[in-house]
Every structure is written in structure tokens, then in C-alpha cells.
Structure 1
Amino acid sequence: MTPHASPRHVFVTGSSRGIGHAVAAAFVAAGDRVTVHARTAESAERARAELGAAGSVAADVTDAAALEAALASAAERAGPVQVLVNNAGAAETAPLSRLDVDQLRRMMALNVEPVLTAIRAVAPAMNTAGTGRIVTVASTAGLKGYAYVGAYTAAKHAVVGLTRALALELAAAGITVNAVCPGYTDTALIADSLDRLEARTGRDREAILEDFTRVNPLGRLIRPQEVADSVLWLAGAGASGITGQAIAVAGGEL
């Protein structure tokens, strides 16, 4: 990876593992000053050491004040955030008979509200600089329906809508706002899902995995690095004319 002429301060939420970890690693390799984030200080510092990142912060992203404080602390140490990657999030499953408003609120609080909080926190400095890159890791669930994850799907659709709306508001300031929408990705989250389904149903793990990969014409899980490469491109000079987009990284699923 060719380093940037001028390293940027990149903040990646939920970067202690999975897609976020791969994204942070890609920016470190590109020569940027990366602040990694996790829910606990121990996880954040472990990721920083593993990646050779510039710094680490901890915050529960569902606590707006804590997330704002973490972003402020990172900016004080490494300068204004020039690239924000909203990656933190998670899914809960439930059929309609067990899907309630509480689950919907949890999914919105975890997958949507922190995106708005973080963007509001970094936008003033980006506006002053006349440039900035914001990329949110959404999901193909933000572009289509999935059975049994209604609340998560609704939340990811909301993230895509927020991306498109804020892209229009921030374009005049030279700030691009985009989303990447991975399909089923080879992360600990999927591994945990396979474990739970195997234990609950008694089905063979490989057969369950085939259910996940069947929707992908490539016939496999997406690799975290493939998502990271898309995020890196959207944050680069070559994508300066790309904003308000939700790009599927899903092997042709959509």
C-alpha cells in the first residue's frame, strides 16, 4: 500500500475485531494515523498494539456522551478526525412472533444513533477544513429484506437513508458521506451465529454455512479485507466525486 503524502487522522469505531479491525489495518498500512475504538479500554489497547495504530479509545457507542468524549479525546491527541469510519454494530434475531419494539429500539440505538452522534461530532472540523471522508459499514440488510432479523434490517435501512440525506447536506463543504454494505462476511460474528444455530438445531455446521453462502453467487463468505479495501477507496482521492452511495460488497448478491 502506498502511503499518503500527508497522513490523515482516521477514527474507526468497533475496530478491535472483524471488519473494523481489517479497516483499521488497511489505513495503518496506508500510512495514516489511526485511532482504534472498542467498548473496553483493554480491547482497544490490544487492537492498537496489534495494528501499530496511533492511539486507542474506549466507549459504549450507545452512550452518546461517552462516544463524543472519545472522539474529542482522539482529536485532542492526534488532530481533527479527517476520516470517520462508523463500523460498530451488531444484529439480533427474532421471528415476528417474538419481534417487539424493545428489540427495534436496541437495534436502532446500536446501529443508527452512534452513526449520527459520530458524524455530528466530526463534521464541524471537517467543515472548517473544507474536506472530509465519512464511511459507514452498513449491510446488504440495508438494501434488501432478510427474514428473522426485522429490527436489524430496519436499522440498516435507516443507516443507508441517513447516509444519503447527510451526503446532500455536507457536499458543499467538501465532505463525502458513503456506506459500504457487506453481505455475509467471514468474521467472529458469523462464527458465533453458526455455533448458536448448530447447538439449537443439531444441523451440520457445513450445511448451515451453505445457507449463508447460497445467496452469494461467488459461493463463499465475503472477506473482511474486501470490505476494508472498499472503505479505503471511498476515503481516498480517487473517490472524491463519490457521495451518497451505498455500495454492496456481496459477490453479486444484489
Structure 2
Amino acid sequence: MLTGKHALVTGGGTGIGLAIAQALAAQGAEVTITGRRPGPLEAAASAHIHPLVMDVMQEASVVQGIEAAVNARGPIQICVPNAGIAEGRALLKTDMDFWRRMMATNVDGAFLTIRESLKSMTQTDWGRVIAVSSIAGIRGLKGAPTYTASKHALLGLIRALAADYATKPYTFNALCPAYVDTDIVTSNVTSIMKRTGMDEAAARDLMVGVNPHGRLIAPEEVAEAALFLCGDHSGSVNGQAIQIAGGEV
């Protein structure tokens, strides 16, 4: 389905990003995966998955990295701004360093990735931008006001771009999963245990309980939604926040 297409997935070495990269590669795309740590990127590399060390918090890194990817594999026609951090903290315990780090990764990083990818995408006749947001981009997530604000901002960016390019052959959508079975859940379990005194099972159950179907979501379930947005008949799906959230309403 995607033979001849070049995809870029930030945060593509692990978790949701890796699942999306593997799904795109399985459909024939050449996929550039980015991240700050070379180890996970190299471990994820394959014949159609190409690692690139890039820090989405640094404009020069994004500009240079995406330029190198385009020079190596052609225009980016599938852009997946996935890199992000998820951490809860009460507002009165939130300092500017925490706020800025969250926004620099989740909002600025997506903005830079999309902006640089569009430079080559808009020279082609087809393109897809698929941002990985969160259920927190749609509703307020208790105990995580900074994270919630960042994911709402990402969704606003996607909707504005969908309006800007509505008559063009490019679509902009956001995937909004609830709790997914990734390393982020593991780190959040540790954080919850530290903040609340809960044991590991109780902390994990707290997150699982947010998903109405009573289980963590597999990264591959999110990847399948990304594939749908790259399908032959997906052109009229634009500016949407697609929930992969086990029945969250």
C-alpha cells in the first residue's frame, strides 16, 4: 500500500512510535525513525526502518535531521510527530522548568517536525500528518494539568492545519489513545507509587482503570489506526481526534 512513500516517525525507537514505524514498513514504506538515544533506534532498525538521532526540543537538530532524511530517502509524505513525555504533577507543584520541558517536547517538537516535513511533502501530490496526542488532548486528565494542556495544544495545531490545507491533498489528524502498554506506563507506575505510597499493583490498576474496557491498549492497536489514515480512501478524514480509548466517551 505504501511502497515508494517515505515516512518519518519521531520517538520511533520504542512504544507507539515503533509500532507505527513497523506497520508502515510492513506496507512498503521507507521509514525514518528518530530519537535522542541511538541504542533503541539501532535496535529497531531493519531493511525499511532507518535510524536518525534527532532531538525534537532543538530546532537546529530537527531542521538538519529532516533535511538529511529527505536527502537520503526523498520527500516525507507521512509525518508522525509521536515523540513526547507524559508525567503527572499537581499545578501547585509545577515549576517553570517542568512546564517548559513538557511544552518543548510535546508542542514545540511536533510543530518543528511538521513544519520541516511539510517543506518536502507539499512538493508532492499526497501527504499525511498523523500526530500522536492522547485522550488527555480531548478531556482533562486528573493530576496532569501540564500534560493535558500540551496535548490540547497539539490537537489545536492539527485542526488549524487541516483547515489551512483543506483543499490540498494532505490531511492532518491526531490519534488520541488512553493508557497504552508502553514504558511510559512503567515509569508512571513508579511515579504514582512515590507520590501516593501505593504498591505497584494498585498504581498499575489506577491507570488500567481509566480505560473503560479494563485493560491497557496494545501499541499495535494505535498503529492500525495510523495505517487507516494512510489508506486509499482516507482523504476525507481530516482534522479529527481519533480516540483509541476502549470506549471512553
Q: TM-score, normalised by structure 2?
A: 0.94
Does structure 1 conserve the Cα–Cα contact (< 8 Å) formed by 2:31 and 2:48?
Answer: yes
- Identity, % of aligned positions: 39
1:178-224 alpha-carbon deviations (Å, 9 max, x no partner): 00001011001101211333355442322222211222221111110
Q: Aligned match of 2:118 in 118, 123, 130?
A: 123
Q: Aligned match of 1:142 in 118, 137, 143?
A: 137
Shift of 1:100: 3.0
Counterparts of 1:179 and 1:250, CA distance in 2: 13
Does structure 2 conserve the Cα–Cα contact (< 8 Å) formed by 1:135 and 1:235?
Answer: no
Q: Look up the match of 2:97.
A: 102
Segments of 4+ moved more than 6 angstroms: none
For 2:143, give the aligned amino acid. Answer: Y
1:127-168 alpha-carbon deviations (Å, 9 max, x no partner): 221321000000011000012211111000000000000111
Q: Look up the match of 2:74.
A: 79
Does structure 2 conserve the Cα–Cα contact (< 8 Å) formed by 1:55 and 1:74?
Answer: no
Question: Which has the larger helix fraction?
Answer: 1
Partner-residue secondary structure (3-state), 1:172: coil
1:72-93 alpha-carbon deviations (Å, 9 max, x no partner): 1111011111100010000232
Counterparts of 2:119 and 2:98, CA distance in 1: 33
Q: Look up the match of 1:169.
A: 164
Is the deviation greater in 133-142 or in 123-132? 123-132
Q: TM-score, normalised by structure 1?
A: 0.92
Q: Aligned match of 2:59 in 60, 64, 69?
A: 64
Counterparts of 1:60 and 1:116, CA distance in 2: 13
Q: Look up the match of 1:186.
A: 181
For 1:215, give the aligned amino acid. Answer: V
Does structure 2 conserve the Cα–Cα contact (< 8 Å) formed by 1:36 and 1:53?
Answer: no
Q: Look up the match of 1:203.
A: 198
Unaligned segments of structure 2, at least 5 residues: none
Q: Aligned match of 1:10 in 7, 10, 14?
A: 7
Shift of 1:95: 1.1
Unaligned segments of structure 1, at least 5 residues: none
